[in-house]
Amino acid sequence: MGVVYYNRQTAMILEALKLVINFWLRLSALIVCSTLLGCNEKPCVDGLIGSPAAYNNCLLKYESIERTRQFGAFTVLTIRYTEPSGDWGADFQFERVLFKGRILKKNVDYVRQWIGLSETVLFLEFYDGDAGTLHLTYERGGRAIVESIDAGRYGWVATYEYPNGFPLSDNVRYFPRYVGANDAGFLLRALPTRITALPSGPEGVRAPWIRVLAAVAPDGKAYAYTDSTKTPSVVVVVDDNGFVHDPIPIPFTFPALGIRSGENMFEPVWQWFNDSYVWEKNAQGGWEVARKSNYKAAHSTNPVEEVFIDAMNGYKTCFASHSPGCLSGWRNETSTITQLDYCCLSPHIYTPSKPLRVFGGNLVRLVYSRSTASGSGYQVQLDASSASVITALEDRLKTRKVPFVRVDDCPDLASKERECIARLKRNVNWKDSTDRDFIGSIFSAAGNGAVFVTPTVALAIYSAPNDQTWIDTLARYDHSASPASGND
């Protein structure tokens, strides 16, 4: 009996130990599954698929389901959390993502599908302690993959219809940056996921802001940027290693006049580039862009003067000799300027190989810069007095019958601003006369020099040391084509 009693006790003890070990093994497995894999031990489904009641097992206290959405193997529950607590309580909404009936992510700010792909790919936005909040999820090998997308610290331009990039193709999205970012945004490719950071456009004091992606070179080794989605006025090529080519200023064009609210605002720019330009390799094997149809200025006897007389015609000519279609005989002098000059000038500086007379003076340098009032345009430094340059410019404008207003001749600008604005409307058909930035800029410039406003350009003439003169483009525009102007 003693032996039998001893064996029975031993068996009972061993069975109890077995139960305890199994309990802790199952608990450990559940903890690992929940914390590391983000899954549930049991599916949430309890009833008919697709109905809110089907997912009651997914809910915690104070939660209810507003709606359900199905994306392939993914189910998205819109959860309403309502917790009564005295006079305040809590009431908010979020998304819960399931994969094959199991919880994948409990709390997500929003979920949107990447439209156009052959497989189901979802954008998820939630904070998970990583560098950003943007994520992609999709299925691979029967498992849900969640990838964090490093969008950088500057965010990206978005619209209500396009919160997660603008479709460049079915599997590539363009994420542009806001002004002030240290790059030009990034491209996001799906299946497989790949992020391509876009190098910055021109940088430096008074460098024009040119970072709107217009096209990608055939091999992806260079990018063409412009300065606006509505009124492009310059094109620049930037290599994938960050090398910035000379900007090629062009006359204002209006590719987006017919765009409707809710449409991809970059689509007209991409179409305009494809219709107007072609990629070409230069002698060094790098990429450049050339116009499909080369046009010449009607008055080409002095192309530098033309950019200050008739900007729409003058900017049909460019001065970067390495670029197809630009004038030969010009060289980039950025590397030869002094440190003092560089602090005050745009980095895009050119000189002719032969002496050139401009408005009665010798041309010292031609600079392409961000304009004071809007957009970008040329500055020119002349070896001549400001009085003689002003006289020469007035003579050219009168000979060409180009209407203009001398803003610095407007009587008592401080108290009779309206009279000067009325003169702009009357004499040069100024349609943006209520643009306070423009008005403020030309009135401010008029306190330091002579300011001319014509139908296509506003410019200031300033005296410089050593009896030299600067002509500075304050703004250029095309009121004959559209009342819209400016950078977007």
Q: Which of 390, 385, 393 is closest to 466 using CA atoms?
A: 385
Mean pLDDT of 204-218: 92
Task: Using the predicted structure, report yes or no on whether residue 48 has a pLDDT greater than 70.
Answer: no
Show contacts of 298-307: CB within 8 Å, 24+ apart: 299/400, 302/356, 302/357, 302/358, 303/327, 304/356, 304/358, 304/363, 304/366, 304/378, 304/380, 305/358, 305/359, 305/396, 307/377, 307/378, 307/457, 307/473
- Kindly state the percentage of the chain with pLDDT values over 70: 80
* DSSP state, residue 293: S
Task: Using the predicted structure, report yes or no on whether residue 4 has a pLDDT greater than 60.
Answer: no
Structure tokens at 270: 């991409």
- Give the pLDDT score at 219: 95
Structure confidence by residue, pLDDT tens digits, 257-281:
556 667 899 999 999 999 999 999 9
Q: Which residues neighbour 408 within 8 Å (Cβ) at sequence distance 6 or greater?
A: 446, 447, 449, 450, 451
Mean pLDDT of 49-72: 83
C-alpha–C-alpha distance, residues 235 and 279, integer Å: 12
Task: Using the predicted structure, report yes or no on whether residue 41 has a pLDDT greater than 50.
Answer: no
Q: Which of 399, 402, 405, 481 is closest to 443 using CA atoms?
A: 405
Amino acid at site 230: K
- Give the pLDDT score at 436: 77
The β-bridge relationship of strands 212-216 and 194-197 is unpaired
Task: Using the predicted structure, report yes or no on whether residue 481 has a pLDDT greater than 70.
Answer: no
Q: Which of 412, 406, 413, 376 is closest to 390 using CA atoms?
A: 406
Q: Which of 154, 151, 237 is closest to 199 using CA atoms?
A: 237
Contact of 363 with 380, CB cutoff 8 Å: yes
Task: Using the predicted structure, report yes or no on whether residue 39 has a pLDDT greater than 80.
Answer: no
- Give the pLDDT score at 32: 41
* DSSP state, residue 56: G
- Give the pLDDT score at 415: 64
C-alpha–C-alpha distance, residues 408 and 442, integer Å: 9
Task: Using the predicted structure, report yes or no on whether residue 80 has a pLDDT greater than 70.
Answer: yes
- Give the pLDDT score at 173: 97
C-alpha–C-alpha distance, residues 474 and 458, integer Å: 5
Given 3-state DSSP classes, what are the helix, strand and coil percentages for the chain, each rounded to the nearest 5? 25, 30, 45
pLDDT band at 434; cut points 50, 70, 90: low
Task: Using the predicted structure, report yes or no on whether residue 302 has a pLDDT greater than 80.
Answer: yes
Indicate the range of 5-19, 67-81, 388-402 predicted with least confidence.
Answer: 5-19
Which helix (DSSP H) or strand (DSSP E) does residue 194 occupy?
strand 194-197
Q: Which of 233, 469, 230, 225 is closest to 362 using CA atoms?
A: 469
Integer CA distances (angstroms), 83 to 96, 109, 431, in order: 18, 19, 56
Place of tokens 């058909």: 429
Mean pLDDT of 469-488: 72
Question: What pTM does this model have?
Answer: 0.84
Which of 4-8, 214-218, 279-283, 285-289 has the highest average model confidence (pLDDT)? 214-218
Mean pLDDT of 275-288: 91
- Give the pLDDT score at 27: 39
pLDDT band at 485; cut points 50, 70, 90: very low
Where along the chain do its domains lie?
A: 36-150, 309-476
Torsion from C-alpha of 254, 320, 217, 138, nearest 10 degrees: -70
Which of 255-264, 330-339, 372-381 has the highest average model confidence (pLDDT)? 372-381
- Give the pLDDT score at 33: 41
C-alpha–C-alpha distance, residues 301 and 25, integer Å: 89
- Give the pLDDT score at 484: 43
- Give the pLDDT score at 294: 64
Region of residue 115 (phi > 0: left; psi between -120 and 50: alpha; otherwise: beta): beta
Place of tokens 């199994």: 22
DSSP assignment of 356-423 = -EETTEEEEEEEEEE-SSSSEEEEEEEES-HHHHHHHHHHHHHHTT---EEGGGSS-TTT-HHHHHHH
